[in-house]
Amino acid sequence: MRITRFTVQHIEAFNPKIITFGHQVNIIFSKINSTGKTTLMRAILYTLGFPVPSTKPISFEDYEFNLELSHTNSLFHVNRKGQVLTVNGQEFDLPINQRESQMFLFNIGNAEVLYNLLGTFYFDQENGWTLLNRGQVIGGVRFNVESFFRGLKGDESSESYEIVAKINALSKKIAQYKLILNVAEYQATLQKDVEQKLDFQTYHQSLDTTLLERQARLQKLEGEISKLTDVMNNSKRFGDYIETKNVFVNIGDDKPPMRVTKDNLHYYNEVEEINSTRKSILLAERNSLKNEIAEIEASQDKQITLDNLSRPEDEMISRLACIQKISSVEVKKMLYMYQKEKQNLSKALVGKTMENNPWISDAYKIIRNYANELGMPADYKIKIFTRDKKAKSGAILHKLVFIYKLAFIKLLSKKLGYPVPIFCDSPSGREVIRETISAMISILKRDFSEHQIIISSIHKFDDVYSDANIIEVDGTIFDEQNLSDFYPEHL
């Protein structure tokens, strides 16, 4: 997969800015920082459909991007304008159709491979050089090593998905209970002060109680509506997916096979109607509750005069004190139970992922070879699924992240059947000497010559890449005031 051309055009400009990419190595370069190197790299990923954030003060929504790339003997013309992504004339609405668009663009059928795609070949300057095997890649994009190897293995069993679903549900519960614990502990510190200094009678407790009840019901309704919306979206995607696969079923010896569509799936349309009706009822109830809440809040405002208006922080403390006291002991007990259950499920998931998975042994071979080459201690234990990063120094972690990514990139390319591009944003770490960085870049040159490599840096690395395509930026690529005066040769 190779990018050949990228254009940037502000929505109010007459002419685009054109960046041409070389066959293999492209270095987005400037001698100083804050000239648009990272922004340009993120804009390319944004055009490929990834939900990456723009850099201040740039807003990608104010630009139209066009990208030309080729892979698997096909040429792709990609356009991104706001939340509409167009690939060879086919439009996708983002973020709803992100998965579909990238399945089409990258020729990927496995959802877990797609989920971990960006975290495999992109080194972000903020998180990318500390992201070892799981965590945030950039924005809301995450990487998970267990999910990645399940995708490589093609493990789409119901058992694995059930474990993942349980872990996700427990993660939400743990986050909720941590918040509740904070409230409980804060309540305990405030209790004595609240009893002595605050007069709750002036807050019209009946109105507060009613308001809290309505708000709790509204929150529950919002959750139901959100879940139902997800169910409806998943149902639609399933129906669309079935139709794109051209599945036929036999309906009799003397009759031709029938193509499966949404219309002849048993009870498909009926379920859609039921869900739609249920959502309409929930929306109506939600709107009614919002009106009631607005009326209660208006009544509260009328009861308060300027003479007895309290400070904002006092009012918030009073509202907190009105909530029934929470036992921190009980919360800690529940929190421990959920954390233990999540830990056990995570171990089970790792075991399920490693079971009969040749991709993992291949990864270990690649990692050990590169670890030896980059001078990692001979007795250093390589653990792909480790959760312990605290014992690793900055320099060792930097090397490990690089080595792991190389292994993941090799395996991903083997799985997809073509070399994926490699994006490196600011590879120079503060605790890593220049010789180590050069050695890492030399590995890219030697072992990844079939991959297109795009590096953003204040170094040209001409000691390694004497023939690299240098894209020199000066801070004007995204400067809307100069867009109409821009000529490509200025780069």
Could you give all domains of the chain from N- to C-terminal order, each with its CATH number?
A: 2-154+358-490 (3.40.50.300), 161-346 (1.10.287.370)
pLDDT at 375: 86
Q: Is the peptide bond before 95 cis (omega within 30 degrees of 0)?
A: yes
35-59 pLDDT per residue, tens: 889 999 999 999 999 999 998 888 9
Q: What is the pLDDT of residue 480?
A: 60
Q: Return all residues near 247 (Cβ < 8 A) that are at least 6 apart.
A: 259, 260
Amino acid at 149: F
Alpha carbon separation from 300 to 218, 219, 287, 307, 322 (Å, rounded): 19, 21, 20, 15, 15
CB burial of residue 20 (10 Å; 0-12, 13-18, 19+): middle
Residue 69 main-chain phi, psi, to 5 deg:
-150, 160
Identify whether the C-beta of residue 211 lies closer than 8 Å to the C-beta of residue 293: yes
Residue reference for tokens 């004007």: 476
Backbone region of residue 452 per phi and psi (left: phi > 0; alpha: psi in -120 to 50; beta: other values): beta
pLDDT of res. 483: 39
Question: Which pLDDT value is given to residue 482?
Answer: 47
d(CA 485, CA 483) in angstroms, rounded, equals 5
CA angle 270/276/278 to nearest 5° reads 105
The whole-number pLDDT of residue 380 equals 79
Asked if 427 contacts 125 with a C-beta cutoff of 8 angstroms, the reply is: no
pLDDT of residue 381: 82
The predicted pLDDT at position 130 comes to 82
Tell me: the pLDDT tens digits for 72-119? 788 999 999 999 999 999 999 999 999 999 999 998 988 899 999 999
Ranges in the chain, pLDDT < 70: 156-157, 190-205, 300-324, 389-393, 428-433, 480-491
